[in-house]
Amino acid sequence: MTIPNWITFSRLLGLPFLLYGLHKPTPQARWVCLAIFLVSALTDWLDGYLARRLNQISELGKFLDPLVDKLLVLAPLLALIELGQVPAWGVFLILARELAIAGWRVSQTTITGANIWGKLKTVSQIMAIALLIAPLPQEWELLSLVAFWVSVTLTLISGIIYLLPQKDIASANATKS
């Protein structure tokens, strides 16, 4: 296993602490959870950077990185549902998109990396979750919810954009047969 893949896998280690801290959060626990979340999110950038820099891009990394990203996003969102900060149906839309893309990837012979829409989706999700985890004053609640809905929208758009070219390629291959 490559160094970038180990870094990707290490992101999972923070999730139990994040979920524990968000179970019955105090303001101090929220700050700790925010730090854990942001460090985990930064390692997402680091593993990709190192994979390219060290020429260690692998099929395992292309599979493992988005899977861990999904867990890093969905775990705190589920905790935020329990805390009443986000509606379950908004998180369901994110989950449905992620499962659809994961299911599509399983059937592919080669795994493609994230496009610009996928990267925008990830950044928007990280920003929204960070705002929702942070123990901010009540005045920030609207901004946090707007950030959440922007991330839901970008998640759906990126999923559609990801699948549309794939559908066109599959259609072209079917007509050639």
What single DSSP character describes residue 1? -
pLDDT in tens, 1-52: 889 899 998 888 999 999 999 999 999 999 999 999 999 999 988 988 898 8
Is the pLDDT reported for residue 111 higher than 70? Answer: no
For the chain, report the end-to-end CA distance as a whole number of angstroms. 39
- The 3-state secondary structure of 142-161 reads HHHHHHHHHHHHHHHHHHHH
Domain count for the chain: 1
pTM for this prediction: 0.84
Higher pLDDT, 143 or 109: 143
pLDDT at 128: 97
Query: Can you tell me which residue has the tokens 């101090």?
Result: 28
Domain that holds residue 121: 3-176
Residue 43 belongs to domain with CATH number: 1.20.120.1760
Helix (H, G, I), strand (E, B) or coil at 25: coil
pLDDT at 90: 96
Q: Tell me how far apart the alpha carbons of residues 126 and 130 are, in angstroms, rounded to a whole number.
A: 6
**DSSP letters of 101-139?**
HHHHHHT-SS-----HHHHHHHHHHHHHHHHHHS---GG
Dihedral sign for Cα 148, 152, 155, 158, please: negative
pLDDT at 44: 85
Q: Tell me how far apart the alpha carbons of residues 162 and 166 are, in angstroms, rounded to a whole number.
A: 7
What single DSSP character describes residue 14? G
**DSSP letters of 50-100?**
HHHHTT---HHHHHHHHHHHHHHHHHHHHHHHHTTSS-HHHHHHHHHHHHH
pLDDT at 89: 96
